[in-house]
Amino acid sequence: MKQSYKKTTLENGLRIITVPQPGNLATTVLVLVETGSKYETKNISGVAHFLEHMCFKGTVKRPSARVISSELDGLGASYNAFTSQEYTGYYAKVENHKNGKALELIADLYLNPIFDEKEIETEKGVVIEELNMYEDMPQRKIYDYFMHLLYGDQPAGWDIGGDREILKKMKREDFLKFRGEHYLPEHTTLIIAGGFDEEALLNSATELFKSMPSGGKGQKLAVTESQSEPALMLKHKESDQTHLRIGFRAFSMFDKRRYAAEVLADLLGGGMSSRLFHKVREDLGAAYYVGAEADLYTDHGYVAAYAGVEHSKLKTVISAMLTEFKRLQTELVPDEELVRTKSHLSGNLLLGLETSSSLAVFYGTQEVLKREVTSPEELLIGINAVTAEEIQAVAKELFKSESLNMVLIGPQKEEGEFKELLRSF
């Protein structure tokens, strides 16, 4: 795969990434801003996500949510927004002949939200119900608990959606202040990907964003980490299966060992031929979903395995996962398995870049987080260069008792037996 892209920086510092995809019938317009929940303080926890909602609630030109959604629906667009710990995004995906309108609309809701006070009060109920929805989705909610177990009472450990009581107290001034500190051109990236006229849309984008005012950027607190023994969190819930997440502290996305960590995680739980899939699902018949991931951020990261497990087989599954972690420390990965794992990881990377929306996210998130883009070709080189010895070295470095963490959501009430399992590692 050879994918070209162009980066243009406006005088005010805003970056525009254009990724032409000849033959594609769709264009994706994505705006990413370098801010998220890790840029918050306790008294405004959840404001980044709440602000994202409010950008769809009215602009100077389009004064209500109904006007905005009607216009986007009228374009036949696929559209939404998302907030993470370190960036927030707004996008629309349309047929190519409608991309100029989509660009103007996304620019409008990003640049000109009005934050109507009545809409803010109404939307509080929506945001809180979103939090309630995730409480009923343990397979999703366990991620939040795991982050809190790892990082505690600091932004990296807070729920991206915020705290219900804090959300109820938020005022228009909170949104204006946060936006003024973070929604700045030097920290904004516009990505256009798909089958578009590059010169025409680049000219339009320049005109739309060139007057965006600059300002002083609010910074995020550096993540602090402290752990000296295995940590456990039990969340009691009467459920039909126990949801499990177990893993270790790791390093940031800038660490040279990142490729080895990605290959290691894929080997553990990246596909139906992975070690944990075979052991937990095929051999033990204990789970439907099971996997592993290396989740790396700008200043922290972790490697974790996860599964939804039959209650009676929970301890057996935990022991099996710990055994696989140990095995990576004591045995070199066989050549055939390493080749297959790299092929699976590489194939999924390339197949995942088939659409304009996936291309926009791929190039945009790298630019907004790292200020540079690693091409798919460069990523493949990094993945394929990983050796069995490097995987073993990373396993020895990361898989330590003092950095082991586990969260369980299920009917279990007693911690003792699970703490003993973790201490045995």
Active site residues: 52
Q: How many CB atoms lie within 10 A of CB 208?
A: 17
Residue 296, strand partner residues: 301
- Antiparallel, parallel or unpaired: β 15-20 and 301-309: unpaired
Rounded to a whole number of angstroms, the distance between the first and last alpha carbons of the chain is: 42
- Which of 79, 98, 99 has its CA nearest to residue 90? 79
79 token code pair:
């559209």
3-state secondary structure of 297: coil
3-state secondary structure of 25: coil
Q: Name which of 386, 395, 373 is nearest 19 in CA terms.
A: 373
Rounded CA-CA distance 363/156 in Å is: 24
What is the Cα–Cα distance from 350 to 241, expressed in whole angstroms?
A: 34
Strands 242-249 and 15-20: unpaired
Q: What is the DSSP letter of 281?
A: I
